[in-house]
Structure 1
Amino acid sequence: MPVYDYLANWKQQIDQSPNAIYLTLADALAFSIRKGDLQEGDKLPPQRTIAEYLGTNLTTVTRAFTEARRRGLIDATVGRGTFVRLGAGESHWRHTGPAVVDLTMNLPPIPQDPSLQRIIQNDIAAILKQQDLSSLMSYRVTGGTLEERQLGAKWIAPVLGARRTDDILVAPGAQSALAAIVSSLTQPGDVIVTDRIAYPGVRTVAAQFGLILAGVDSDIEGMMPDQLDHVCAQYHPRLLYCIPTINNPTTATMSLQRRKDILAVAQRHHLHIVEDDPYSLLLDEPLPALAVLDHNRVSYIATLAKTLSPGLRTAYVALPNSDMTRRVTAAIRAIALTNAGLLSAMTARWMQTGQAEALLQAIKKELRLRQSVARKVLGPDHCANPCGPHVWLKLPEWWGSADFVAYARRRGLALVPSTVFTISGEPPQRARIALGSAPDAASLEESLNGVMSVLNHKRSPGFTDIV
């Protein structure tokens, strides 16, 4: 790709971003690496050339390069220039290779009892006997059949309460639902406000639709209302995106009062809220969703990917009114058309027979066991919810997130660095550990002992390579 093609993209991002230029430039460089516009080992233009092209000063570019080096994206050598660092792409840490266990993907553990494989085999056989094959293998109704929407409404009722079936849609996964809602409510150049440390899926959607993300600082209860108010007054966002329960990755859960305070700010600034709720059903007594507290302002998404299995490709969406339901249905049709017939039939069967609830209870039990293993091995100083699927690992002062994850990868452990989740500002000295993908608790404990070994290793100042 010619040099000035990606520089033009950088300039566009700088023009549109509300953040400091040097941070936006570092983010733009990271995005070019993730997209593949810049490859590992590529040489970057001289800083002065970049400054002239972008219409900024050399000091700003130098500061951006310092930030990019701190994130593990580039290396500079006097006399040779600046190069994209080996392993700078996200694909590097995501590739498992010889890793003992892949701890990057936030999956529910596959329960041993009941046997999921046996359940699937038996249920598919029963479905094929009872239903017409041509119907199962054909296109479905976008948004789900009446029966599927009724079952979905019942599934999310412990969190959402009773909702009209007409306001419930069935979507092929939470990501497509998020994209459909966002595309229905925004235009290119609009601002979405979210946590400063946020789920990467919202970054993907924002990039796809030409939207700008503004980050809000959080505390142990999640997004802080006064900070949200400040960001809204400054940038006039169109939407608020949040995960109020067991935030990914910080694990923060908003109290009832915090939820009310966030809604009050949203009301003052006329914000529509997209509430992503993958984890509430993992709790025995979940707090009411934002969509319960303010029915008319919140579009709600609950996926089965974190409570049963991502293989079902099913999310339930609750929308505030018939107009939104119509618009989001049209957007889902444009983005993903429909759910898969055979998977929809199996999901419905699980809901009808009580198998879904039995699997949920088995997964909840297993996650509690795995969290207890994590506390035993890692200690209490890391952010975690005892019912949740991940740990937000605190790193010692000598480890930056990117270097820690790269070094762990060399030791056969695949983790996720905080840079992946950082919307703006300084990435925290953290890494996310997903507990569900290990085959069993014993394997998880072995892997976490390996993480502790890396955590306690004081790397030499000369450690710079990521391989």
Structure 2
Amino acid sequence: MKNKKLLEKWNEYVGLYNGPMYLAIVEALAASIRNGIIHGGERLPTQREIASALETNLTTVTRAFREAHRRGLINATVGRGTFVRMGAEVSHWRSPKAAIVDMTMNLPPIPQNPPLQRIMQSDLAALLKKQNISNLMSYRVTGGTLEERQHAVRWIEPVIGSRRPDDVLVVPGAQTALAAAMSILASPGDIILTDRITYSGIRTVADQLGIILVGVDGDENGFLPEQLEIACRQYQPKALYCIPAIQNPTTVTMSLERRKDILKIVHDNRLYVVEDDPYSLLHDNPIPALAALDHGRVIYISTLAKVLSPGLRTAYVALPNAEMTRRFAVAVRAFSLTNAGLLSALTLRWMQTGQSKEILGSIKQELRLRQSIARNILGDSHGMDPNGPHVWLKLPEWWSSVDFVSYARHRGIALVPSNVFTVDGDFPQRARISLGSILDISNLENSLHDIVTILSHKRATDFLSIV
């Protein structure tokens, strides 16, 4: 039934297209992806079905598929069929022309007090003076040295409680950690549950590993327990992925009671949890992590990218048991071998001297100022956390997410549409604004005022033809 409706839409589009038939088919496919009629990972009708429905020949459809593949819209697998490529939704809202203001990346603001550049110049000079250059530039032990792991334990203790250094690994970035965790928990074709709207990086990992993500609905406290129970019974998943604090992109923080409810379901269904926690330390009094409430079922990932700097390429991972720690370390070694020596030495120095806490304090103060400015300019009807780095912007009814983001880019502001984060179902009328990447507060204020202007603009019917 869905294929029939899809091909009816394509027939309408092809009838209006002035150009070669094969390009008309490609444009019809692109429009279907853009408008959320078909999503990443969905199977397309066979070429023969398409040719019959559009009253054309098989050669034309084959040529169209070849062009769609070149554009990154589809993937074909022998024996399985042709599928919309995961992430295909992204390509049509991006432009080779750089936006004047890039608000797409969730970066922490660069500290000015203390000034990060001066700190790095001083600390790197000290490292080069005290340490042998061959040690800084050589391969390192996978998972970090004992001293690095001891400092990692202290860093994440406010969120997950006391752990032994043997249970914690130092990994080159959260994305490596996510890939390693997924690879040891699931095999190609297995299902992992997540929020219906979730971090785009987990979609990239799942697509690369051949793992299927299934979205679960939630509310202002996180996953709805009854929906999670239904999904567990229906799909027999291998694991659950979540961001319990200042969720990316929705900004929801899971309540303590909801965390306990979720862990009971996890325990009853013998699941593991991949707890992705970039943001808890932005709270002065963080809610205990899932890993603090259940040591035995949670792989906990805490990156320094959002609370210090992504340039450190460092994440701390707490594992449930020795066997999983061993398997995880093997996976990390396969994906990225080791951390970079110079960055590891700089990170360790910051932990030793207390500089890391000072930088974190500066970033927290700056983000709170930026969130206050955003609330004053945008209003309080959007997804916001006063400590977080982003805003989940609610759009008026006349704007779809992709069209709004495309038009904003045309006006010089780069944002991220909701389809990038959507695992299942319709794309919400939302866009993510990242507040940390703009250096100057006055530029941030001007950009937010521009976004308010764009929100009120009602696009012309021929808008898509001019961007």
TM range, normalised to the smaller chain? Answer: 0.7 to 0.9
Number of the residue aligned with 2:115 = 115
Q: Partner letter of residue 353 of structure 1?
A: T
Deviations 1:174-211 (CA, angstroms, capped at 9, x unpaired): 00001001101111110010000010111111111111
Give the secondary structure class of the aligned counterpart of 1:465.
Answer: helix
How far residue 90 of structure 1 moved from its aligned partner, in angstroms, is 2.5
How far residue 100 of structure 1 moved from its aligned partner, in angstroms, is 3.2
Cα distance 1:57–1:157, how it changes in 2: closer, same or farther (>3 A)? farther
Q: Partner letter of residue 105 of structure 2?
A: M
Q: 1:28-427 counterparts in 2 under 5 A?
A: 43-44=25-26, 51-53=45-47, 90-91=90-91, 93=93, 97-427=97-427
> 1:103–1:433: 8 Å Cα contact kept in structure 2?
yes
> 1:407–1:466: 8 Å Cα contact kept in structure 2?
no
Give the secondary structure class of the aligned counterpart of 2:465.
Answer: coil
Q: How many Å separate the matches in 2 of 1:107 and 1:400?
A: 26
Cα distance 1:342–1:93, how it changes in 2: closer, same or farther (>3 A)? farther
Q: How many Å separate the matches in 1 of 2:172 and 2:103?
A: 25
How far residue 88 of structure 1 moved from its aligned partner, in angstroms, is 7.2
Cα distance 1:249–1:466, how it changes in 2: closer, same or farther (>3 A)? farther
Q: Partner letter of residue 335 of structure 1?
A: F
Q: Partner letter of residue 209 of structure 2?
A: F
How far residue 433 of structure 1 moved from its aligned partner, in angstroms, is 0.1
Cα distance 1:284–1:94, how it changes in 2: closer, same or farther (>3 A)? farther
Cα distance 1:392–1:166, how it changes in 2: closer, same or farther (>3 A)? same
How far residue 224 of structure 1 moved from its aligned partner, in angstroms, is 1.0
Instruction: Name the TM-score, length of structure 1 as normaliser.
Output: 0.83
How far residue 303 of structure 1 moved from its aligned partner, in angstroms, is 0.1
How far residue 223 of structure 1 moved from its aligned partner, in angstroms, is 1.4
Q: How many Å separate the matches in 2 of 1:174 and 1:285?
A: 23
Give the secondary structure class of the aligned counterpart of 1:398.
Answer: coil
Q: How many Å separate the matches in 1 of 2:294 and 2:48?
A: 44
Instruction: Name the TM-score, length of structure 2 as normaliser.
Output: 0.83
Deviations 1:235-267 (CA, angstroms, capped at 9, x unpaired): 111010000000000000010000001111111
Q: How many Å separate the matches in 1 of 2:28 and 2:284?
A: 57
Give the secondary structure class of the aligned counterpart of 1:247.
Answer: coil
Cα distance 1:42–1:254, how it changes in 2: closer, same or farther (>3 A)? same
Deviations 1:330-383 (CA, angstroms, capped at 9, x unpaired): 000000000000000000000000100000000000000000110011011101
Aligned length in residues: 409
Number of the residue aligned with 1:455 = 455
Q: How many Å separate the matches in 2 of 1:423 and 1:416?
A: 15
Q: Where does structure 1 lack aligned partners over 5 or more consecutive residues? A: 1-19, 27-40, 60-72, 75-83
Q: How many Å separate the matches in 1 of 2:50 and 2:240?
A: 31
Q: Partner letter of residue 367 of structure 2?
A: L
Q: How many Å separate the matches in 2 of 1:246 and 1:361?
A: 17
How far residue 392 of structure 1 moved from its aligned partner, in angstroms, is 0.1
Cα distance 1:207–1:386, how it changes in 2: closer, same or farther (>3 A)? same
Cα distance 1:197–1:100, how it changes in 2: closer, same or farther (>3 A)? same
> 2:221–2:255: 8 Å Cα contact kept in structure 1?
yes
Q: Where does structure 2 lack aligned partners over 5 or more consecutive residues? A: 8-22, 30-43, 54-71, 74-83
Q: Partner letter of residue 444 of structure 2?
A: L
Q: Partner letter of residue 44 of structure 1?
A: V
Cα distance 1:42–1:314, how it changes in 2: closer, same or farther (>3 A)? farther
How far residue 46 of structure 1 moved from its aligned partner, in angstroms, is 8.6
Q: Partner letter of residue 26 of structure 2?
A: L
How far residue 388 of structure 1 moved from its aligned partner, in angstroms, is 0.2
How far residue 21 of structure 1 moved from its aligned partner, in angstroms, is 6.1
Q: How many Å separate the matches in 1 of 2:28 and 2:410?
A: 31
How far residue 99 of structure 1 moved from its aligned partner, in angstroms, is 2.6
Q: How many Å separate the matches in 1 of 2:281 and 2:146?
A: 23
> 1:51–1:58: 8 Å Cα contact kept in structure 2?
no
Cα distance 1:89–1:218, how it changes in 2: closer, same or farther (>3 A)? closer
Deviations 1:308-347 (CA, angstroms, capped at 9, x unpaired): 0000000000000000100000000000000000000000
How far residue 458 of structure 1 moved from its aligned partner, in angstroms, is 1.2
Number of the residue aligned with 2:68 = none
